[in-house]
A and B are shown apart, each in its own frame.
Chain A
Amino acid sequence: QVQLVESGGGAVQPGRSLTLSCVASAFNFNLYGMHWVRQSPNKGLEWVAVISYDGRNRFYADSVQGRFTISRDNSRNTLYLQMNSLTTEDTALYYCASDLYSKSSWGVFEYWGQGTPVSVSS
C-alpha cells in the first residue's frame, strides 16, 4: 500500500532553518504532484507548497513565499521542504501529500504521511 514517511522535524529557534523529507513507497511517485500541508491549532489545515510531477513547476502559499523551497528527487522517491528564516508562526505538524490526479496538481490530497512536527521558539 502507498506509504509516505516524513522526517526532519524538530525544535528550532526563530530565524533558523530546517529541511523536511518525505519518502514515498508503493507509489508511482514520478507521476504525481506533491504537496506540503501543515496543521496547527491556531490556523488549522494550511496548504504550504506544491511541486509538479516533473519538478518544473512550484507554487507556494503567500505565508512562506521566499522562505521555503520545495524540491523532489524522483530517482529517490523523495520530496523535500527547505525552510529558512523560520518564525513562531511556522510551528505546526507538517504533512506531505500526493495529488489525486497524475501529471497535474489540482490540490486534491489523496495520500498523506503521518506528519513531522516543527516547533519554532526561542
Chain B
Amino acid sequence: TVLAQFPGTLSVSPGESATLSCRASHTVTNNYLAWYQQKPGQAPRLLFYGASSRAVGIPDRFSASGSGTDFTLTISRLEPEDFAVYFCQKYSALPPWTFGQGTKVEIK
C-alpha cells in the first residue's frame, strides 16, 4: 500500500489551524493508520494510532480522523512547537509497514 500525503508543504500562521491529508492506494484494514511528528534533529514522535486514538501526552489541539483510504490530521491553534514534518504510516499484524513521504508544516 502506497501512502500519499498532501500537501507537501503547508504554510500556516501561529494560532491558525492546519489540515493534513493522507491517502492510501488500498483500503487500510481496520483503520490501522498512525501519525507521527518529526522536528529537525529529532526522532519521530507517535501522535495517533488506529486512525484517531491519541498517543500518551499528545495535546488535544491535535486530532485525527478518517477511514478506508482517506485520513486527516488536524492541528488547531498552531503553537510554535507544532511546526514540523508529519508522517502517516500504515500498520498491521504482519510487515511490511510503510510510511508516507511527509507533510512539512512551516511558519507563514
Contact = CB atoms under 8 A, between A and B. Distances in A.
Contacts, number: 56
Interface residues of B, number: 23
Given A46-B99, A110-B55, A95 B94 contact: no
Interface string B65-108: 00000000000000000000001010111111111011000000
A59 interface: yes
B95 A59 contact: yes
User: Across chains A and B, which 3 residue pairs bring their CB atoms closest together, nearest first?
Assistant: A107-B97, A112-B43, A107-B91
Interface of B: 32, 34, 36, 42-46, 49, 55, 87, 89, 91-99, 101-102
A114 interface: yes
Name the prevailing secondary structure of the B interface residues.
loop
Interface residues of A, number: 21
Interface of A: 44-47, 50, 59, 61-62, 95, 97, 100, 104, 106-110, 112-115
Contact of B98 (A47, A50, A104): A47
